[in-house]
Structure 1
Amino acid sequence: MTEHLKMDKIQPRLLDETGQGAITKPTPRPEGPLKVSGTARYAGEYKAENMAQGYLVRAGITKGTFKIDRDSVKDMPGFLGLFTDHMIRNSAQGTANTNPVQPGPQIQYLGQPIAVVVAETFEQARHIAHAVKVDYQREDDATPDFSTATNFKEQEKKSLSQGDLEQAMADAAFTVDATFTTSPHNSAAMEPHTALATWEGDKVTVRGSLQMLKYNQNELADSLGIPAENVRLLSHYIGGGFGSKLGIDAACVSAAVASRHLGRPVRVEMHRNNVFEAVVLRTPSRQRVRLAADKDGNLLGVGHENWQSNLPDETFSEPIDTATHFLYGGDSRTYATHVARLNRPASGSVRAPGEAIGMLALENAMDELAEAAGIDPIDLRVRNIPEVHPESGFQYSSRSLAQCLTEGADRFGWSDRKAPKERREGEWFVGMGVASAARTNILMESKARVTLNPDGTALVETDMTDIGTGTYSILSLIAAEMLGLPSDQVTVELGDTDLPHASGSGGSWGAASSGSAVFLGAKAIRRKIAERLGCDPDALRLQDGIATGGNVRRPISELLDGPVTEEGHIEPGKQEVTQAGFGAHFAEVAVNSVTGEVRVQRMLAVMAAGRILNEQTAQSQVWGGQIWGVGTALTEEIQHDHRTGHVVNNDLAEYHVPVNLDIGDLDVLFVDERDDYANPMQVKGIGELGISGAGAAITNAIYNACGVRVRDYPATPDKIFPHL
């Protein structure tokens, strides 16, 4: 039996009444001991009998065609084969559900995977891949440079014009018209992409590092030209994803191709340079933000236009202006997205696509408007929170933005903030900055199977993944809460496409979507227990293995004559409301008056994301967002060679992510909130909300410290000290 809910109506708040207490206290991850002891096995740690090793051959030109000379390496030690069929150009986009571009002999960026070499050992395969001779036919019309690109095309479906922004700018007492630029980013997950493929007849099993298995299954099947039911994917533990593992990758496809040719298991491991080139990056952006306000600081108009890039035939474009549509008011509004087709690695989803870089520009512009109008930046934001969505007119499902800003100001000590350059400690200027946080809330179709056993244990099964965000913890807590069990009596099995298909990890929809499926499966079990107890399901109370209802109290084990299994199934319905998570970021930075170096001394994130299911893992997610905010603001930038388009800093030695000494004190405060429209548990996503706006709070703090506005991210010292 399946408990199926199409989420188009408000649900009762059952989790406020269950009483088990599993989701009301911070709880360590159940798989934590496995990870710290090295016994949680990741894709690259699996071996198979008679396993061969594959290594990707990458293109050495920017655009053109190629032909590989297999004879040039066939006599090298360990050589087993070299294969070019079914090679994909880059990873699939998130939720693509179909094969990525398979260009055959065409090359469209330097570093593109063009073949896989297979040998007995990894070292032999690597040596052969570097030695193989490739005949290139170069094409002279490559377009690798974003800064000089001229082939931008406006995406009409992402353009909108409401009212008259030009007139609003002319009539306004205060205006901002500023251009902001952001560099490309790489997800840089700790675990590189790896796949081990094994065929049994016409069916293939692939152990990979993937975020969305139900989509990845179809993507791999389509890439190989086989039925989806002949593909099994296993991904039990993932060492970070951040969007880089949303779609099927070259490791999975090439391992499956080589294994089918050779009739033996093949493992392909992408080294760090591969990951920086063949996996999607965040696009560079140029953003023009216009704000028009009356004499009291009330917005009259908002404009947000952006220019970005991608490879030919990629349908993804960064939704940069997402939060601008609903965060603040203003009757006149203009949006436009322009995409250039460049010969360099593909752009795609990276943690919080859209808001992560769009809110840098918007929140910097709001800070500039506050200065122009002589209004406190928090007051300006609060007074411009609209009653309804300024374009659709929809109500907000829940929104605690004003509370986040005002409570955060009290906790952070905002009243002690000084004017630029007024607070100095030795050779350091010190200042504070603020930015709103917003991230759209999404529900995706999900299924989960829940089993309650007579011995008081439970099992949750779904192909949902855990990319380090705490899925094992969340799903066990939900089942424990609903079934009245200690959480350590719930086993969660994830990451196997033979299990019911879940939403996958991405878009901050994982806990809400897959968790709701577990909730519904457990709810159906509760109904069966109520029937056996002889009470109404609404009167049933399950706690510590005891069922109570209708003046009857019995151990759950006495009500079961065998395992009880139910499947929960949730899918989004039609709701005319605006759903998003909201919050506020505060930052205090010190800027060296001599060198322009920036040190982040402390940060506070105040988050309103509906019901918090596990405060410990939620806090960890927000910490990650704050830390990535530091990287976005100060250190992270993919650098492309302007002549060839290839990634120059394609490793973690040169792509500078924040390290321990870059991070000051981090504080997180959760606002108690319920969103009845979101899902049966009233939760909203938290993982990407934590990064949205974080970087802008830091650059706004830089201005408050030293009086220098940085509109070109990242804010490296060379962009600060010349203006001190």
Structure 2
Amino acid sequence: MSIQTETTTDTAPYVGRPVERLDGPAKVSGQARFAAENHYPDMAYAALVHATIARGRIAAIDTAAACAVPDVIAVLTHENAPAMIPAPKLSLLDLSTVASATSVNYLATDEVHWNGQPVAVVVAETWETARHAASLVDLSYEELPAVVDFAAEAPNAVPERSMPLMPSKADKGKAAQALADAPFSVDLQFSTPPHNHNAIEPHATTAVWDGDQLTLHEPAQNIPWLRKHLAKRFGIPEEAVRIISPFVGGAFGGKSRAWPGVLIAAMAARATGRPVRLALTRAGVYHTVGGRTPSTQRVALGADAQGKLTALIHTSVSRTGRVGGMAEPITAASRHLYAVPNIHLSQRSVELDLLSNTFMRAPGEAIGTFALESAVDELAWRMGMDPIALRMLNEPDRDPAGGQRFTHRMLREAYTRGAENFGWHQRDPRAGARRDGPWLVGMGVATAYHPSMRMPASVTLRLHADGTVVMRCGMHEMGMGSATVQAQIVADEMGVPLASVHVEYGDSDLPPSAGAIGSVQTASVAAGVIAASTMLKRSLLTLARRAPGSPLRGRKLEDLQARDSGLHHPDGGQTYAEILSAAGRDHLEAAFKPSMLGFVARMAIDSRRWVTGASGAQFCEVRVNADTGEIRVSRWLGVFDVGTVINPRTAASQLRGGIIMGIGAALSEQTLIDGRTGRIMNPSLSEYHVPVHADIPHIDVDWLNEPDPTTPLGMHGIGEVGITGVAAAVANAIRHATGKRVVDLPITLDKLL
């Protein structure tokens, strides 16, 4: 995708401006083309057939009725589908293996591993025909015993293995003894349900083969990982795979892996020799795309008479699929938030005969902060302390678990600003004290936290003689304004008008980007932009020094300023056009390609030196109907310490989106799984309740805008920090309104009656 920026003549820095998203006009006018909107001559359409048992074997499969439907091209099953190479196992030496969603070799086995697994695909001339024919495929099974009930299996959980940069346990001091000796303590058990992805764009793939060359239109969060994964599965060189993904209609982690649909679409296209589009139904997304794990958690806190924490115990149980998935870092935030001399953190997991779990906005932290921050609030109640005062009393100077220094942490300032703007001083500390007719009104707070990370991202900048700059990077646009913020950074780094910057992205033919995962993309690509800009300006200065009479001769790059489309110093300068013209060049290019090995080494060193994270203070007001238990969130304010904010408009949208998603987790979202069959019982938006406009008040967001000196331009990722602490803030406000502590999500009215 290529986007040209808006026209402006203002010479002030572009970083920090609320620039409108550059892809906005294309989206609202319908010009933006998503994966299921790419047309090819002789296009065919595919529909999946899903297993209806949790575990077993296919005893018989009858496709005669499906094949007899007019315009059906092929019905592929384990009996006739071309074989794929099995999925590679997870290896930290090859991060593309994270793209392996499951270990199942689709349509190459008669084994069934979860209820919903694709066991056949119908290819037809129309999508309606494919769906109808798929409904006619008749299967019988030999069922095997299956384990699908998380609550029943949780007592059998085993300790998780720690991974580099994702430790699953911590032991400091003697937490159990300190808890027993503490004059004040809480010891609570929490539970959170599974969640499913419901992006506005359901997963869809358009696959086209030209010999051994595969072109794929796919909504992807990590193009390089997916490209490498597909090359391995189909036994072709990586350069033979092209992934085109200019627009992604929401993802939140659900489009970061190679789920069955993308692989089967490519298989069907190869088998039929036709371009194939496979668009999942909403129910199909539930059946074939993983979601957030359920959890049970214990949080126990001990404190002395003044409120200083003496013990913190946080343990969790989550689940993975027997055929894949990764454990979530549920206790991660508990490593960093409170100054406690005695800490015990541990995580356990169980394997079930269900589809693999996967990443979902702030995996681990979103549900982990619900338990931790609810427990902190409950301790404040038992001590008669203000919950903000308790938090600030225990704000650490260094990382509590590891002892590293913080690169940047202004949580005190976030709470101070938030308390003043939200009117926290007006809060009556008594539970149920404030009433408005039938409504009990309560206020709650919680801390938000998410680590800040970066991954390698390659960037190419090409400067043309007309003063335009083309940025090329295979980054991902999922609605957060990626191209917009990077164009702002390029404009500032090169000292050119924003209108002179063109951004190309969303294509595997471009330099590989970091994935849009873990809140890493913006800072990672920005680092590449800064490096490429420096390289380009250095090359320009070299050209200028060669030209007789250049005012830049004898100058160092450090002495120059990039502005007015050129390099300048107090006594003069030259425009880029003048430098290129004098050198007889019509363009100049710089390509930054980071070393993966060097990056990993530096990341390992930095992790021992310091801890970097985005944080914030979530303020919530709820109204609970005293007669019916109905809950309404009536006010919200989030104040965040996220370093430099590149674009206030897109940042506010990201933070609000996270808060809305967190309110959904707090009050309504849950995937219901039949404990006997493993069947998802509510695979639709009519039964799986995401928040709608009527559920959400006006949400105020604010930020400190203080840069972190260790990150590119001082920024932190903001895609996920907004959801953390949200469910706890809601629960804490309900506790204040009603006096009831709810420890199981979602907080539905039956839990208050």
Normalization by structure 1: what TM-score? 0.94
Does residue 162 (structure 1) correspond to residue 172 (structure 2)? The answer is: yes
Query: What residue number does 2:42 align with?
Result: 50
Query: What residue number does 2:443 align with?
Result: 432
Deviation at 1:344, TM superposition (A): 2.1
Query: What residue number does 2:355 align with?
Result: 345
Deviation at 1:550, TM superposition (A): 5.5
Q: 1:88 to 1:117 in 2, by over 3 A?
A: farther
Amino acid at match of 1:292: G
Alignment of 1:211-610 (within 5 A): 211-418=221-428, 419-531=430-542, 532=544, 533-534=552-553, 535-549=555-569, 551-560=571-580, 561-570=585-594, 571=599, 573=602, 574-575=605-606, 576-610=609-643
Does residue 64 (structure 1) correspond to residue 47 (structure 2)? The answer is: no
Deviations 1:585-606 (A, max 9, x none): 0011111101111111111111
Contact 1:441 1:684 in 2 (8 A): yes
Deviation at 1:73, TM superposition (A): 2.3
In 1, Cα distance between the equivalents of 2:89 and 2:622?
Answer: 39
In 2, Cα distance between the equivalents of 1:496 and 1:506?
Answer: 17
1:76 counterpart SS class: coil
Contact 2:204 2:218 in 1 (8 A): yes
Alignment of 1:165-180 (within 5 A): 165-180=175-190
Does residue 127 (structure 1) correspond to residue 160 (structure 2)? The answer is: no
User: Which consecutive aligned stretches of 4+ in structure 1 deviate over 6 angstroms post-superposition?
Assistant: 87-94
Does residue 136 (structure 1) correspond to residue 147 (structure 2)? The answer is: no
Q: 1:137 to 1:117 in 2, by over 3 A?
A: same
Number of residue pairs the alignment of both structures matches: 702
Contact 2:86 2:233 in 1 (8 A): no
Amino acid at match of 1:82: V
In 2, Cα distance between the equivalents of 1:497 and 1:242?
Answer: 21
Amino acid at match of 1:105: D
Alignment of 1:671-682 (within 5 A): 671-678=704-711, 680-682=712-714
In 2, Cα distance between the equivalents of 1:267 and 1:303?
Answer: 50
1:295 counterpart SS class: coil
1:148 counterpart SS class: helix
Contact 1:87 1:250 in 2 (8 A): no
Contact 2:11 2:497 in 1 (8 A): no
Contact 2:325 2:358 in 1 (8 A): no
Worse-matched range after superposition: 365-374 or 329-338? 329-338
Deviation at 1:546, TM superposition (A): 4.1
Query: What residue number does 1:9 align with?
Result: none
In 1, Cα distance between the equivalents of 2:200 and 2:529?
Answer: 29
Q: Of the candidates 18, 24, 30, which is equivalent to residue 32 of structure 1?
A: 24
Amino acid at match of 2:178: A
In 1, Cα distance between the equivalents of 2:491 and 2:350?
Answer: 50
Contact 1:87 1:102 in 2 (8 A): no
Q: Of the candidates 638, 645, 664, which is equivalent to residue 612 of structure 1?
A: 645
Query: What residue number does 1:102 align with?
Result: 104
Contact 1:92 1:249 in 2 (8 A): no
Q: Of the candidates 79, 88, 94, which is equivalent to residue 72 of structure 2?
A: 79
1:306 counterpart SS class: strand
Deviation at 1:517, TM superposition (A): 0.9
1:690 counterpart SS class: helix
**Aligned-residue CA RMSD (Å):** 1.9
Q: Of the candidates 72, 89, 112, which is equivalent to residue 117 of structure 2?
A: 112
Q: Of the candidates 146, 157, 165, which is equivalent to residue 150 of structure 2?
A: 146
Amino acid at match of 1:107: V
1:181 counterpart SS class: strand
In 2, Cα distance between the equivalents of 1:362 and 1:556?
Answer: 55
Contact 2:85 2:234 in 1 (8 A): no
Contact 1:91 1:247 in 2 (8 A): no
Deviations 1:515-539 (A, max 9, x none): 2112211121122333423332122
Amino acid at match of 1:335: L
Contact 1:97 1:216 in 2 (8 A): no
Does residue 700 (structure 1) correspond to residue 732 (structure 2)? The answer is: yes
1:604 counterpart SS class: strand
In 1, Cα distance between the equivalents of 2:373 and 2:343?
Answer: 16
2:152 counterpart SS class: coil
Q: 1:402 to 1:600 in 2, by over 3 A?
A: same
Contact 1:87 1:113 in 2 (8 A): no
In 2, Cα distance between the equivalents of 1:486 and 1:650?
Answer: 48
Amino acid at match of 1:32: G
Deviation at 1:161, TM superposition (A): 2.4
Worse-matched range after superposition: 284-293 or 448-457? 448-457
In 1, Cα distance between the equivalents of 2:54 and 2:180?
Answer: 46
Deviations 1:585-641 (A, max 9, x none): 001111110111111111111111111111110110001011112101111111111
Amino acid at match of 1:131: L
Contact 2:660 2:691 in 1 (8 A): yes
Q: 1:195 to 1:92 in 2, by over 3 A?
A: farther
Amino acid at match of 1:621: Q
Amino acid at match of 1:48: Y
Query: What residue number does 1:3 align with?
Result: none
Deviation at 1:64, TM superposition (A): 0.4
Contact 2:322 2:354 in 1 (8 A): no
Query: What residue number does 1:8 align with?
Result: none
Query: What residue number does 2:718 align with?
Result: 686
In 1, Cα distance between the equivalents of 2:284 and 2:221?
Answer: 18
Contact 2:301 2:311 in 1 (8 A): yes
Deviation at 1:568, TM superposition (A): 2.4
Deviations 1:352-401 (A, max 9, x none): 11110000000000000111122111111111111111222110111111
Query: What residue number does 2:5 align with?
Result: none
Deviation at 1:98, TM superposition (A): 5.4
Gaps of 5+ in 2: 1-9, 163-167, 545-551
Deviations 1:45-100 (A, max 9, x none): 11111111011111111110114333342222111112244589999999534544
Worse-matched range after superposition: 564-573 or 229-238? 564-573
Worse-matched range after superposition: 416-425 or 154-163? 154-163
Q: 1:591 to 1:98 in 2, by over 3 A?
A: closer
In 2, Cα distance between the equivalents of 1:46 and 1:693?
Answer: 40
Deviations 1:17-50 (A, max 9, x none): x974111211101110000001000001111111
Normalization by structure 2: what TM-score? 0.91
